[in-house]
Amino acid sequence: MGASLLTAFALMLIIEGILPFVAPAAWRETFLRLASMADGQIRFIGLTSMLVGVMLLFVLS
């Protein structure tokens, strides 16, 4: 299980790093917009992201 968790973490870092590497200006603009959002909006984005992740885990396993 530890190796799988490390693999998943490594893949997450790779995927998270693609946009800042390929389009740093778009990445910066996205985070500037995110910083100006209300806490509730950011929480909703986080919740949606987690739910999509859970659904993907169920579909793929």
Q: What is the pLDDT of residues 4-56, one digit of tens each?
A: 889 989 999 999 999 999 999 999 999 899 999 999 999 999 999 999 989 98
8 A C-beta contact, residue 49 and residue 57? no
For 44, the domain range is 2-60
Please say if the pLDDT value at position 1 is more than 80.
no
What does the pLDDT read at residue 49? 94
What does the pLDDT read at residue 60? 85
Number of domains the chain is built from: 1
